[in-house]
Structure 1
Amino acid sequence: MGLELYLDLLSQPCRSVYIFAKANSIQFDFKKVALAEGQQYGEEFGKINLLRKVPAMKDGDFTLAESIAILLYLCRKYQTPDHWYPEDPIKRARVDEYLSWQHSAMRAHAAKMFWFRLMIPVITGEDVPKPKMDSAMEDLNNTLQLFEDKFLQDHPFIVGDEISLADVVAIVEIMQPLGSGLDVFEGRPKVAAWRDRVRNKIGPKLFDEAHNDILNARNLPDTFEKNGMLDFLKPKIHKLFN
């Protein structure tokens, strides 16, 4: 049995795994888990990942959850080029530093704007109150500024002159708000130039393919209407945000 990756490219961690595997010519069987249809709650997927989250991986009899763990596993098993996760202890520490920081910073705030601007209004039929929206936008702007000042600085990439896992994980998160119509690159030429370098290194075709679903996320209301997920999600969203 070959490598199986369980993914939905609406999910930013799924995109990081997909991009990395494709960019390194790692052969895998793409197993689509449609989040908008609730397939993560199905019995079969539960056998792969009891956490009910994507991405998930199955390699023979071995299963693995969590995108960072999967990325590191792929790095080690397939002995990908050193620049992705450098042997040099200082460079590797810089990758680890970003990967550790981003969970509660870039991921949290970029994803919140996507939910506030698109998903919550779609699911509940109500806009997020302006004070909450303004606070979320302030958090995202502060995080983007920290990304520039602390992690990017004046380097081409996060760890210097070469792309690494940190850049892949960063770009998929920063692209997420675009799905709600919010261009986070506007007025941030340094971050926009970094995005272009990452896109070129990954390959424009792969980059655009991986982000096609999120850039068309405004079609999600039709999907929710068709599959009945609105009634399922409404109480969960109200519990989280009210």
Structure 2
Amino acid sequence: MLDFYYMLYSAPCRSILMLAQALGVELNRKQVYLDAGDHLKPEFVKINPQHTIPTLVDGDFALWESRAILLYLAEMYGKDDALYPKDPKRRALINHRLFFDLGTLYQSYVYYYYPQLFEDVKKSADPDNFKRIDAAFAAFNSLLEGQKYAAADSLTVADFALLATVSTFEVTGYDFSKYTNVANWYESAKKEVPGWEENWEGCLYYKKLYLSQLPVYGIVFEHRSWLSCPAKNAENSIMDFYYRPGSAPCRAVIMTAKAIGIEFNNLILINTRAGDQFKPEYLKINPQHTIPTLVDKGFSLWESRAIMVYLVEQYGKDSTLYPNDVQKRALINQRLYFDMGTLYKSFADYYYPQIFRKQAPNAECYKKIEAAFELLNTLLEGQSYAAGDCLTLADISILASVSSFDVAGFDFKGYGNVARWYEQAKLETPGWDVNWAGCLEFRKYFDS
């Protein structure tokens, strides 16, 4: 029996409930009342030191981060690989959509609505954050061009995650009808995804609890360059990598390539300050106009952590960086989502407004950095590596983020486990010297 800690109103929780029904997996449901502080009780923190929902316990194996749970359930209990295919390219697209959901689409909801709903002093709607929602839906609409499903020619775990998110936007009152590809996909997914009815029940529950009479903006509620070298050991692949040397996600991909012994045919510098990412030729390969982007013989992929997994699965033969064992892989996935959604996000939320918009430091955002490092410190207790007994993609991704904090001047020596892990990871991770050179490039923003 799988113990599942959740609340029905939570979109991440609802995605797992839908997938469990699709897989025929029975969950022993345990509701966690956040408003009552259930997630902070010692018995729950012992299971999940990040004290978040959803959390899954399978025997003595505990896992959180909903998208990592989705992949674990599909790999462990799927009767076949239809929902998460073994083909590296198909899997890479699914991973991309999951990271896109966490870091762009669902995050746009959090940026705009959560300050109005959940902060102690309710904030008014921010029009700039509303634009993030529009941009996220525009990107999703482009990804769905000519597609019935989110990431393949059939239903996959990506559809489950995105359906939970988009249904939350719908019940909140956001009108995405002008994004016709999204609207068409949504209507189709509602009919095909098992458990849709319970998902919608959770949406209505969420609306009843939090959305009544909330005034929201625009909505009315009812109730080539720095590195260049020829490819090797990549099965004659022709890979172009679009990047900036100072970018932590770009550096993580470069270290991954070094670790599996491949090099890119072309490292193409994208000057984001000059707007290179908005040029038509770049938008053609990445309509989300982000870095890094990989093009492998015509196959385009972005979101750094999806690229890292793809490189290992496609070219890292039997690599311990991302092993076949489902539980080991699930822990790595959890750490990758932690890095994207908590650790690296805390860096971006605190430093980027100061660097790029010349804003004053935000004390509340600084506290989120401290909380992220406190959690990382807990995860590393008694551990030499971030997600197992050897170096994995989790270490590489987190190393890129922590080295950015290092060069920014954040003092994490007080987090003993992190400091110890960091010194070891610098010695063991291939490509550390390239990573640090990129950090020093990024440091120019702080110096200026």
Q: Using CA pairs below 8 Å that are at least 6 residues apart, which structure has the higher relative contact order?
A: 1
Deviations 1:183-208 (CA, angstroms, capped at 9, x unpaired): 333323321211111111114xx212
Aligned residue pair count? 215
Amino acid at match of 2:155: I
Question: Higher helix fraction: Structure 1 or Structure 2?
Answer: 1
TM-score (norm 1): 0.79
Task: Give 1:117 deviation, angstroms.
Answer: 4.6
Correspondence list, 1:109-120, <5 A: 109-120=108-119
Counterparts of 2:26 and 2:205 in 1: how far apart (Å)?
27
Aligned to 1:219: 208
Q: For the Cα contact (< 8 Å) 2:97–2:151, is it kept in 1? A: no
Aligned to 1:177: 169
Correspondence list, 1:90-239, <5 A: 90-120=89-119, 123-124=120-121, 126-128=122-124, 130=125, 133-149=126-142, 151-179=143-171, 181-203=172-194, 206-220=195-209, 239=364
Q: For the Cα contact (< 8 Å) 2:9–2:205, is it kept in 1? A: no
Distance of aligned partners of 1:112 and 1:211 in 2 relative to their CA distance in 1, 3 Å threshold? farther
Amino acid at match of 2:135: N
Task: Give 1:111 deviation, angstroms.
Answer: 2.5
Counterparts of 2:210 and 2:71 in 1: how far apart (Å)?
35
Distance of aligned partners of 1:81 and 1:112 in 2 relative to their CA distance in 1, 3 Å threshold? farther
Instruction: Compare CA radii of gyration and give the structure with the larger one.
Output: 2
Q: Let me know the Cα RMSD of the aligned residues.
A: 2.4
Counterparts of 2:177 and 2:95 in 1: how far apart (Å)?
28
Q: For the Cα contact (< 8 Å) 1:113–1:177, is it kept in 2? A: no
Amino acid at match of 1:108: Q
SS of corresponding position for 2:82: helix
Task: Give 1:147 deviation, angstroms.
Answer: 0.8
Distance of aligned partners of 1:191 and 1:117 in 2 relative to their CA distance in 1, 3 Å threshold? farther
Counterparts of 1:137 and 1:92 in 2: how far apart (Å)?
31
Distance of aligned partners of 1:158 and 1:85 in 2 relative to their CA distance in 1, 3 Å threshold? same
TM-score (norm 2): 0.45
Q: For the Cα contact (< 8 Å) 2:23–2:78, is it kept in 1? A: no
Aligned to 1:73: 72
Q: For the Cα contact (< 8 Å) 2:10–2:202, is it kept in 1? A: no
Q: Which runs of 5+ in 1 are unaligned?
A: 223-237
Distance of aligned partners of 1:114 and 1:171 in 2 relative to their CA distance in 1, 3 Å threshold? farther
The structure 1 segments of at least 4 consecutive aligned residues displaced by more than 6 Å after TM superposition are none
Deviations 1:202-232 (CA, angstroms, capped at 9, x unpaired): 14xx21212323333343269xxxxxxxxxx
Say which is worse superposed, 158-167 or 136-145, in terms of deviation.
158-167
Q: For the Cα contact (< 8 Å) 1:14–1:54, is it kept in 2? A: yes
Aligned to 1:9: 8
Deviations 1:51-104 (CA, angstroms, capped at 9, x unpaired): 100111111111112212212221121134422101222211111122233322
Aligned to 1:228: none
Counterparts of 1:162 and 1:171 in 2: how far apart (Å)?
14
Distance of aligned partners of 1:195 and 1:36 in 2 relative to their CA distance in 1, 3 Å threshold? farther
Amino acid at match of 1:209: E
Percent of pairs identical after alignment? 26
Counterparts of 1:217 and 1:3 in 2: how far apart (Å)?
25
Counterparts of 2:67 and 2:158 in 1: how far apart (Å)?
10
Q: Which runs of 5+ in 2 are unaligned?
A: 212-362, 366-448
